[in-house]
Amino acid sequence: MARLEGQRKSLGALDRSFLAAERRDVMMHVGSLLELSPTKGWSRDFSRELREELSRTEKVDRPWNQRLLHPDLLASPLQAWVPDESFDLEYHVRRSALPSPGDERELGVLVSRLHGTPLDFHRPPWEAHFIEGLDKKRIAIYFKVHHALIDGYTGMRLLQRSFSKDPTDLDTPLFFSQKSVERTKDHEEVAPTFDALLAAVRDQVGVAKDIGRALVTVAQSIRGGASGLALPLQAPKSVLNQRISRSRRFATQKVSIERVKRLAASAGGTVNDVVLAICGVALRRFLGELDALPDKPLVAMVPVNVRPKDDPGGGNAIGAILASLATNVADPRASLDAIIASTKRSKAQLQGMSKGAIMQYSALVLAPLMLSFIPGAVGRFRPAFNVVISNVPGPETPLYFRGWKLDEMYPLSIPFHGYGLNITVQSYAGSLNFGFTGCRDTLPHLQRLAVYSGEVLDQMERA
């Protein structure tokens, strides 16, 4: 049995909220689909060699060895992470196979099913599935982890540590065997002295002032009528905002990041603005074909990473802004201009705020989201927003795993009641990889949305 490293660790408020939101049909885990191809000869023994390596693994480090102290009471105020004394690595790392030769459609069906099954909270809440049987002698890895254990930013950084920039490197330890990145002094907890208490009080006073100023701007925008600032409860009702089932659909798309950067520069916006525009234009076409396009523009909730650049991660540290997707605008380029104006107003709200202020202000902006947890409330009120769209930075150069080249990297995320579609974008080696995760029963033909998103860049460049 693998030796465990770690100790008891309390949960932050945001981590607790992800546990409290867990339901039979709302599973709060995120995931990643990795597709790899051999760089030299194809080895039939790869899976056997991997199993032997797992059997030799002597140490599993945090957070991969951590389970919940109270797995049957997820919302317990005494909840904490503790080492799993009966940790079983073979339970967490599994093999799957497609009927050979499996194609992208069969892979998507399998991953959709895997993503639609809950994690076991009596064990550390993560799984890694090695999938064989793909065409062209490729393999895939589907990885999922509960959002309360780590966020997408942290998960991506930790998972990447199993990969190498050297195609001949066959010895990089698997991610769960590597020692956790130690936080620097800037990230250590302050000793509970009187001076520290005074500093904490001053910080909270500053937070209150920041939030107060931001809320005044929101109030002025509401009174002033038309504004580029997307406001809480401004989003229209739509087919995206219904109760969901536990079944999932997953679709993917990939675009060139250089094309996106050129378009962003020509329009005076950012890469994330173009990502939002791609999603908005594709959603306008997709919902139009379903005869379900609202007259008012859809609103996206866009998570914002508030960590310092060198933060090693751990737990959750994210804020959020609301942005119009301009789905009421027919011209793709005019739609991009409207989105740029909206995101500039929303990001201006956060300028000068501390990390704590951003997170608390984000919680206030998203407070109407809690209405979706009231039985029977979904569909009766306007949603807090219509769709979640995240952009997670990834590796800029190609990576390799035991001599296999990482060709594709697609993120999977969380639909929940009232919000049946989640779009997450992951950058990797010159491309932006879109992962569309939706409720199977409320969003039919999700693959069409992925296809349409791949055609938007051509439309915008022509415009």
Instruction: Give the start-to-end residue ranges of the domains of the chain.
Output: 3-179, 214-394+410-462
- Domain 3-179 sits in which CATH superfamily? Chloramphenicol acetyltransferase-like domain (3.30.559.10)
Give me the residues paired with residue 435 across strands: 252, 424
H-helix segments, 237-386: 257-267, 271-289, 332-350, 355-365
Nearest alpha carbon to residue 144 among 107, 104, 172, 116: 116
Q: Is the Cα torsion angle 52, 58, 61, 66 positive or negative in sign?
A: positive
Do 132 and 47 contact (CB within 8 A), yes or no? yes
Nearest alpha carbon to residue 180 among 9, 309, 419, 412: 9
CA atoms of 432 and 96, how far apart (whole Å):
27
User: Check: CATH 3.40.50.80 for 214-394+410-462?
Assistant: no
**pLDDT tens track, the chain, 463 positions:** 555 555 788 888 778 888 988 989 999 999 999 999 988 766 667 777 777 777 778 778 888 999 999 999 998 888 999 999 999 998 999 988 898 778 888 999 999 999 999 999 999 999 999 998 888 788 899 999 999 998 766 777 777 888 999 998 888 888 887 765 544 333 333 344 434 333 443 444 444 444 455 445 544 454 555 456 666 678 999 999 999 999 999 999 999 999 999 999 999 999 999 999 999 999 999 999 999 999 999 999 988 765 444 444 444 446 778 899 999 999 999 999 999 999 988 877 777 666 666 666 667 766 667 666 676 777 677 888 999 999 988 899 999 998 899 999 999 999 989 999 999 999 999 999 999 999 999 898 899 999 999 999 999 988 7
CA distances from 420 to 25, 253, 364, 416, 436 (A): 11, 19, 22, 6, 11
Q: Are strands 387-392 and 421-428 parallel, antiparallel or unpaired?
A: parallel
Tell me if domain 3-179 and domain 214-394+410-462 are identical in fold: yes
Q: What angle do CA 144, 431, 450 make, to 5 degrees?
A: 65
What number of other Cβ atoms are within 10 A of residue 188's Cβ?
A: 9
Check whether the bond before 192 is cis (ω within 30° of 0).
no
**417 an active-site residue?**
no
Nearest alpha carbon to residue 240 among 446, 418, 444: 418
CA distances from 311 to 39, 186, 348, 457 (A): 33, 9, 24, 33
Catalytic position from the list 29, 92, 129, 147: 147
Residue 372's H or E segment, with its range, is none
Which class for 99: exposed (0-12), middle (13-18), buried (19 or more C-beta within 10 A)? exposed
